Structure 1
Amino acid sequence: MALLGKAAIAMWWDMAPEWRAEFEDWHSHEHFPERMGIPGFQRGSRWADAGGGEGFFILYELDRYETLVSEGYLSRLNQPTPWSSRLMPEHRNMVRSQCHVLESAGSALGGCMLTLRCSPASDGAQPLRDYLRGQAQACAMRPGTTGAHLLQTQTPDIAATTEQKIRGGDQAADWIYLVSGYDQQVLEAALETVLAPAALQAHGAGAVEFARVFTLRHSAESAARQPT
């Protein structure tokens, strides 16, 4: 199964060890249910740094890009709960990208997720997309991997929300490539071969800004998708 929809929110941040237990409690038992109750939100997943670091990766799969500016979503961003307001300042080094899904092949969920952030060179957008599309199709069938997905950030032209103001502002990625799988070593090997900076730059990429493997901690789907 590919990503559930045509848009996504991809986020990375660091959480200090002393906040981690409360953060995961809040994120699982308040924040995910809240977000999954917003029309257009299909599935959310939370991933932790596979190397034991402080980083988390969060992916929300949306039915369409317009959900990012919907009344239901903006009302939650501008009316955070007291628990959300308590934890938002602890989201350090926040990168929050609101994206179109350009390519999606195979399964979105496995035990592991490789996340890569890059930008195409000045004339490299189409060659890079072609290369990553081919890699996505291969990942859907390659031993150790289950699928891959290419996202491109397009930040909506809206005012900063209350949540953003509490965090102090967010950064955004440009292109995002995700590879899901069940074998962490296979994903890490891809970063040394087909997804190494030299390989990506040979196919149209500029600088590769970030590449890391995460492991699944929790996922949730929209109530509308759950069987009755």
Structure 2
Amino acid sequence: MALLGQGAVAMWWDIAPAFRAEFEDWHTHEHFPERMAIPGFHRGSRWSAADGGEGFFVLYELEAYETLASPGYLGRLNAPTLWSAKMMPHHRHMVRSQCRVLESFGGALSRHALTVRLSPSEGAAERLRDQLRTQANAFRSRPGISAAHLLVHQAPKIETTTEQKIRGGPDPAADWIFIVCGYDLASLQALAGTELSDAVLTGAGAKIGAVRGLYALSHTNTATDVD
């Protein structure tokens, strides 16, 4: 499997320009190393909006789905550092999905990522998954593209954490997440308007209203990078 494990956390948020420099400093030098030190965390990647906007996409790759409710992870979520507590309120429009990895093809990371947040229509989940599996397998070998991954949100049975409370309560989640990685931004832009367009996705069984985002890789850490 291209992603490093069977579990993942996929997140999106905005950071206002006034706080962006401090956010990237904190996220790179404190937060990522902290997360990568948790047993079961294999890799974290941060991506910024490809158009230079305020949005970020962050992906954590986990050994297993069960890591999401592990003592190590919950301990960090419920005891944020002072710097984390300072930065959490600046995560605007947070969407946070705790996921199982359904499909993963190709190399995991590349220069750019297209994320599609979608939901299956009633009774169409298997048909939509089959379509996305076929697409993921085909996309990975195309010029400009290196990988594709399908995640599904499944909230673990845990209490609202301290970090969530600092952000204002439980975070909304994306239901299904389709991620396509590539070294050529134009190739991903083309997919967003053709094979991953609303018309194609709804025809495959998705609800209307998929949310797409294009991002550029900013930083990544693996567990082996942590001292």
Shorter-chain TM band: over 0.9
Task: Name whichever of 41-50 and 205-214 sits farther off.
Answer: 205-214
- The size of the alignment, in residue pairs, is 226
Counterpart position of 2:158: 158
How big is the shift at 1:209?
Answer: 3.1
Stretches of 4+ aligned residues off by more than 2 angstroms: none
Counterpart position of 1:25: 25
CA RMSD after TM alignment? 1.3
Counterpart position of 2:197: 196
1-structure distance, mates of 2:156, 2:193:
34
Letter of the aligned partner of 1:13 in structure 2? Answer: W
Counterpart position of 1:212: 213
How big is the shift at 1:123?
Answer: 1.7
Counterpart position of 2:147: 147
What runs of 5+ residues in structure 1 fail to find an aligned partner?
A: none
Q: Deviations over 1:66-117 (max 9, x none)?
A: 1000000000000000000000000000000000000000011000000010
* Contact 2:198–2:210 (8 Å) recurs in 1: no
Letter of the aligned partner of 1:120 in structure 2? Answer: P
Q: Percent identity?
A: 59
Counterpart position of 2:13: 13
1-structure distance, mates of 2:41, 2:208:
31
How big is the shift at 1:227?
Answer: 11
SS at match of 2:3: coil
2-structure distance, mates of 1:13, 1:190:
23
2-structure distance, mates of 1:151, 1:57:
14
Letter of the aligned partner of 1:4 in structure 2? Answer: L
What runs of 5+ residues in structure 2 fail to find an aligned partner?
A: none
1-structure distance, mates of 2:226, 2:222:
11
